Chain A
C-alpha cells in the first residue's frame, strides 16, 4: 500500500499526538494517585532537586577549574584530577545517593523527566498543579503511542483503519486510566513501540539505525521490560541480513562475522560465569577487568566490521546496524542516564537486576481463588486480557492475529506483519510463564497492546471492506471502514465515560462488566487510587482532628492528596483501624480481614458511605460509633 500524501500523513500523526496529549491533560485531575505513583512523585522531586543543584553548581565548578588552570602549576591529567576532586557535592557519589537512592529499583529516565517537568511547569511557571506537572512527561509518552501506531500501520492498512488502531489503544479503559499516571507501564509500552518502529525504519532509511540504538537506551532507562526487545528483533535482523546479502558473498561473510563477535562475547561471559560463579563475576566487574574488555572488544569489533559492511553492501548494513547500535548504545545510555550508576555501575546494576529477578508475589484474586504464589495458571494473562479489553477491540485483535498467522502459514506475510505479531505476543507470552509475578492487572503486558491494536485495525479494515463488497450500504469502502471503526469505538467510549477514573476496576462485556467480574471472582481493583471516590465525603464530614485510616494508602499518597488540595490537612492520618475514627476500606478479597478488623475496631458493621461502581463495592467508609 502506498502512502499518498506525506503532508497529510504528517498532519494526521501530529493530530493524533496532540489529541491524545490534550485528552490526557484535560482529564488528569480525577485520576487518583496510585500507590507506586506517589513513590515516583517523591523520587522525581528528589531527582529534580538534584538536577537543579547539579546544574546550578556548574558555574562555580567551572570557575574553580579555570582558577586551577590559571595558576599554571598543573596541567593535563593532574589538572583534570584536581578539577574532578573539586567537584561540587551533587556530582559526588554521596550527593547522588542522597537524591537517587530512593526507589532505585527502577531506572531514572521517566523520573528525571517527571522531576524536570515539575520544576518547570509547577515550580517555575506555576501553570500546572503539582500532580499534573509531574505527570506531563507520561502524557507525552502515552500520546506518542498513537502516531507511532498510525505510521507503523500505514503500509498495511488505509488511513481510517490506522487511525482506528491508534485511537483504540487509548480507548481501552485500563490503558486510558494508566496513561494518566506518572508510572512506567505505559511509557515502556511507548518506548518498546518506538524501538520496533525505528528498527523497522532502519531497514530502508539511513541513520535510523542510530535512532534505534538511542531509542533502545531510552527504553532500558524506562523499565526492565525493555531487556527482552533485542531477543525479539535478532531473528528479523538476521533474516533481513541474510536476504539482503544473497547476491554479495562478502556482505554475507561480514554479517556472519558480526554475529560471530556477539556469539563469542556471550560465550566468553558464559565461560566466566561457569568458571567463577555469577556472584564472583559480578563482584569482580570493575573498570579495568576482563568483563568490560569483553564488552568493549565486542562493541569495537562489531563496529569495525559494520563499518566495512557499510562500504560493501548498504542493504545488509541496514539490517544489522540497528542491533549493533542497540548493543552499544543501549548499555551506554542506561549507564549515563542514571547518575546512581555513575560511581558504582556494576554492583548497583546487579542489585537492580536481582531485585526484579526475585520480585515478591502479591496476592491476586482470579476466578474465585486467591493466587498467592507460583505456579500461576498458564491461561491467566489471556483470560484477563479477554476480560479487560473491550470485546469490540479484542475480537478484531484475535481476528487480525489469526489473519496474519494464516498469511504466514501460506508464506505471504510481510516482515512488518511478522514484527507486529511477534511483539504483540511477546509480553503476553513472557508474563504467562507460571513463575512470573502476576499482580498488577494488565499493566505488565501493556507493551503488547499497541501491536494488538494494529492487528485489530488490520482486521477491521479487511472485515469492513468485505462487508462493503458484499452489500455497499455506504457510498464508499472508506466510509464503511469508518462506520465499522466508529461502531467498535462507541462501546469503549461509553465504558470509559462510565468507569473513569476507576480504570483499574474495569471489566469488559464478556466478563459482564464490573458486576459480572465480581460474580466471576475477579480482582476488584488495585493500586489504591479509587479512594478518590470518598475523599469528598471525608472532607465534608470529618470533624477537625479526627483520625482517619485510608486503608492501602501510604503516607506518600496522603501527602500528595493534601498537596494537590484533594484532602484536608487538619485531619490525623493513622495506620490501622484500631486507632481511627473513620476508616476508608478498599475492597480486596485478600484484605477482607482488614474490613472485619474495622468492624471490630469501630464497633459497627454498618458503613456510612462508600464508592460503589455499578454496585460493586470499591471503597467502604466506616465511622466509629
Chain B
C-alpha cells in the first residue's frame, strides 16, 4: 500500500483554503449601495441622542454615512459599552467578516437591550435598533453645563484664583484652561472636560453651584492619549476629588502608570446642591486628565 502523502496533501489543502479565502473576501465587503441604504434609514429614523454601535468595533466607515445628530461608537472594547447616555442604540453589524464573532458580541451587548422592530439587512450590512435598558436619564452634566460653572484654581490655604470664561473655555492663566474637548482615554473617544492639574498643592476646581436633584453622581476620568503610560519617578500621582455641598463624597486616584477610564459612583445629590470636582498633582507634567461628571436618575 502506498504511503499517504501527508505533506503534499496538507500543502494542497492549505493552498485551496487560501484560494477560497481570497476569492470569498470581496464578497464579504458591503457595497457603497448597501451603505447608502443604511444611510437612508438612519437619516429618516434616527433621533437626536441615539447611538450607533459598530460591530466589529473598527468598522468606522459607518461614520461617512451616519447623520451627525447620532453618536457613532466604535473602539476596542465598545461591545460592552453601556452607552448610558443613549436611550436607543442602533447596531450596524457586519457579522460575516472574518473573526467577527456575533455570539460574543451578542452575549455582552444584549443584556438589558430590547429590539425595536425587526433587524434589517442591506447586502452584507445588518441594521438593528434597540431600546437601551442601561441608559439613565441625565439630570445634569458638567460637560454640557460648563458655561455656567464656576472654575478656579484653589490654593492649599483655600484662596481662589478664578478662571475667566471666554465663550469657549475657562482660562486659568499659564496656558491652562477648562473646556469640553474630544480626547482619547485608552482607545475611547470621550467628550470630556479638560482638567489638567495646575501643579503643587493647588487644585483646579470646576463647580456647579446649584444642580437639579439626582439619584447618583457619577464621575469618570482618565489620562488622555499616552499620558497614563509614563511611570518615571518624576511624574506625580494625580488626585480627582468630588464634593457635594463641601463634603467629599468620592475620589479617584491616578498613580503613575494608571491607564484608562476610571469611575466613581456616589449617592444621591439633593436639589440645589453645589457639586465640585477638583484635580491636583504635585508635578503637573503630562498629568493630563479629562473628566466627566453626571447626575443620573429622577432625584427627589
Contacts and interface: CB of A to CB of B under 8 A. Distances in A.
B66 interface: yes
A202 interface: no
A515 B76 contact: no
A604 B67 CA distance: 11
Given A597-B182, A620-B60, A494 B14 contact: no
Interface in B184-200: 184, 187, 189
B22 interface: yes
Interface string A372-393: 1000000000000000001110
Contacts of B29: 614-615
B167 interface: no
A363 B230 CA distance: 13
B118 interface: no
B7 A399 contact: yes
Nearest to B58: A518
Given A466-B5, A518-B56, A488 B64 contact: no
Contacts, number: 165
Interface in A466-498: 466-467, 469-470, 484, 487-488, 490-492, 494-495, 498
B11 A615 contact: no
Nearest to B74: A617
Interface residues of A, number: 62
B13 to A, nearest CB: 9
A512 B224 CA distance: 31
B33 to A, nearest CB: 15
A327 B15 CA distance: 44
B10 A463 contact: yes
A490 B10 contact: no
B21 A513 contact: yes
Given A363-B226, A516-B99, A617-B60, A487 B25 contact: no
Contact of B187 (A466, A519, A592): A592
A509 B22 contact: yes
A509 B11 contact: no
B4 A470 contact: yes
Contact of A509 (B17, B64, B66, B68): B17
A462 B7 contact: yes
Contact of B182 (A470, A515, A596, A609): A596
A593 B99 contact: no
A605 interface: yes
Contact of B183 (A464, A491, A494, A596): A596
Contact of A484 (B15, B72, B94): B15
Interface string A447-477: 0000000000001101111110110000000
A437 interface: no
A93 interface: no
Interface in B1-44: 2-5, 7-12, 14-19, 21-23, 25-26, 28-30
A597 B2 CA distance: 66
B10 A593 contact: no
B63 interface: yes
A606 B226 contact: no
Contact of A607 (B21, B63, B183): B63
Interface string B132-145: 00000000000000
B225 A606 contact: no
Given A368-B76, A390-B18, A487-B19, A607 B64 contact: yes
Contacts of A599: 182, 189
A466 B56 contact: no
Q: How large is the interface on B (under 10, 10 to 19, 20 to 34, 35 or more residues)?
A: 35 or more
A407 to B, nearest CB: 13
A458 to B, nearest CB: 10
Q: Which of A498, A590, A606 has the most CB of B within 10 A?
A: A606
Contact of B189 (A494, A592, A609, A614): A592
Q: Which of B76, B94, B224 has the most CB of A within 10 A?
A: B76
B22 A589 contact: no
A564 interface: no
Nearest to A599: B182
Interface in B57-108: 57-61, 63-64, 66, 68, 72, 75-76, 94, 97-100
Contacts of B66: 606
Contacts of A513: 21, 25, 98
Interface of A: 363, 368, 370, 372, 390-392, 395-396, 399, 403, 459-460, 462-467, 469-470, 484, 487-488, 490-492, 494-495, 498, 509, 511-513, 515-516, 518-521, 589-590, 592-593, 595-597, 599-600, 604-610, 612, 614-617, 620
**Nearest 3 pairs between A and B by C-beta?**
A512-B98, A463-B8, A491-B18
13 contacts: A392-B15, A459-B11, A463-B11, A466-B5, A469-B5, A492-B18, A498-B25, A513-B21, A513-B25, A515-B99, A593-B184, A593-B225, A608-B64
Given A484-B15, A519-B97, A609-B64, 4 more contacts: A466-B7, A466-B8, A595-B184, A599-B182
